[in-house]
């Protein structure tokens, strides 16, 4: 009987001990949970107290220039500062800005530059400044930059950088330096330009003796179309691309309007006598310059008997000296001009 009572007492003590341990474990877990909650609240409170300028800014800088992206944090404490660049990739179609895929590139973290571009560096010239400096800015540097501090939640300052690029003229179908075209044929001059901002195109006639504004194409047109070019068209024209970023870009077109020969005789009937020397004149308009020669009775006359004077790139005057020694020297003389566009002749009668 006594032994049974002792076993009951021991069992009661064991149950009380287990109950106390369970209560202690439950209290420990509750205290730990409360501590974690307090720590989370503290971290958020501390992070929210960090003075951080999160104003969205826009920077514009010319290519090859220097740019300072500013980031100011009053008290960084134990937090870390990060710089990164965001490139948005258009995967085709009419995607909006927010629909484009983002590509993140780490530039610097906790005072160390990790980018493989050697023109990035950090600057902390005064307390609280965590500026990113970009030397020798190039076109690829354009985009969005973010300065972040790893508070909870993170704080981010966004900076959008626009790189101004001088205009450059690029044509998918480049025109040759010298354009030779036959009169009456259509002519198209191309002047496409790239740059940031988009360049403005204007045309100018460079010929000193021509200043016909009415013949120029519309303002800011990169195509000058002439349905039928004539010999009155300017010899030299220029297109200029300008977007306000120096230097402007230009392209010069030299146009040679070609024509088949035109032969003109001032006096097609000349009277003479035996043993006289007579000069026959013949004027030729042509481009390119024509080959000029004389014929009589289907026979080409020796070049040594004629002289040719070039007045300009189109007009030349040819003279044939005839010594009348017998009756065979009288008759019909043909002045003939030939170039790649045709053949023309006119005649003089020597009586």
Q: Which residues of the chain have pLDDT under 50?
A: 2-3, 5, 35-47
The Cα-based distances of 56 to 59, 69, 156 in angstroms read 10, 12, 9
Q: Which tokens go with 145?
A: 């930059």
The pLDDT score that the predictor gives to residue 79 is 87
> Strand 200-205 vs strand 291-296: parallel, antiparallel, or unpaired?
unpaired
* DSSP bridge pairs for 336: 293, 345
> Rounded CA gap, 151 and 47, in Å?
5
Among 243, 240, 247, 265, CA closest to 318: 265
Q: Which domains does the chain have, with CATH numbers?
A: 57-91+99-164 (2.60.40.10), 170-259 (2.60.40.10), 265-350 (2.60.40.10)
What residues contact 47, with CB distance under 8 A and at least 6 apart? Answer: 79, 151, 152, 153, 155
The pLDDT score that the predictor gives to residue 47 is 44
The pLDDT score that the predictor gives to residue 300 is 92
The pLDDT score that the predictor gives to residue 151 is 87
Among 253, 272, 287, 275, CA closest to 333: 272
Number of Cα atoms under 13 Å in the Cβ half of residue 258: 14
The pLDDT score that the predictor gives to residue 54 is 84
DSSP state at residue 301: P
Count the helix, strand and coil residues of the chain and give each as a percent rounded to the nearest 5. 15, 45, 35
> Rounded CA gap, 171 and 167, in Å?
13
- Buried b / exposed e over 162-171, threshold 16 CB at 10 Å, is ebbbbbebee
């Amino acid at each position: 009987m006594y032994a049974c009572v002792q076993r009951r007492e021991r069992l009661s003590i064991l149950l009380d001990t287990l109950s106390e341990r369970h209560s202690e474990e439950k209290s420990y877990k509750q205290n730990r949970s409360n501590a974690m909650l307090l720590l989370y609240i503290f971290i958020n409170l501390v992070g929210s107290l960090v003075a951080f300028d999160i104003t969205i800014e826009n920077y514009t800088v010319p290519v090859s220039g220097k740019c300072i992206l500013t980031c100011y944090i009053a008290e960084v404490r134990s937090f870390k500062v990060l710089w990164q660049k965001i490139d948005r990739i258009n995967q085709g179609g009419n995607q909006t800005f927010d629909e484009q895929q983002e590509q993140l590139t780490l530039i610097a973290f906790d005072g160390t530059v990790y980018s493989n571009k050697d023109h990035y560096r950090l600057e902390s010239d005064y307390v609280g400044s965590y500026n990113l400096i970009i030397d020798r800015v190039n076109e690829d540097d354009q985009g969005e930059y973010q300065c972040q501090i790893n508070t909870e939640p993170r704080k981010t300052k966004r900076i959008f950088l626009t790189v101004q690029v001088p205009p450059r003229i690029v044509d998918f179908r480049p025109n040759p330096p010298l354009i030779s075209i036959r009169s009456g044929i259509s002519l198209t001059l191309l002047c496409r330009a790239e740059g940031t901002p988009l360049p403005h195109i204007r045309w100018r006639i460079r010929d000193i003796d021509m200043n016909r504004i009415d013949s120029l194409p519309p303002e800011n047109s990169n195509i000058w179309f002439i349905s039928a070019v004539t010999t009155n068209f300017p010899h030299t024209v220029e297109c200029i691309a300008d977007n306000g970023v120096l230097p402007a870009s230009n392209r010069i077109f030299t146009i040679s309007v070609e024509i088949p020969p035109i032969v003109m005789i001032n006096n097609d009937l000349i009277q003479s006598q035996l043993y006289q020397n007579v000069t026959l004149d013949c004027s030729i308009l042509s481009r390119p310059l024509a080959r000029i020669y004389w014929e009589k009775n289907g026979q080409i006359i020796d070049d040594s008997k004629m002289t040719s004077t070039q007045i300009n790139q189109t007009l030349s005057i040819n003279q044939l000296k005839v010594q009348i020694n017998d009756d065979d020297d009288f008759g019909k003389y043909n002045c003939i001009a030939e170039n790649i566009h045709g053949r023309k002749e006119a005649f003089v009668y020597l009586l």
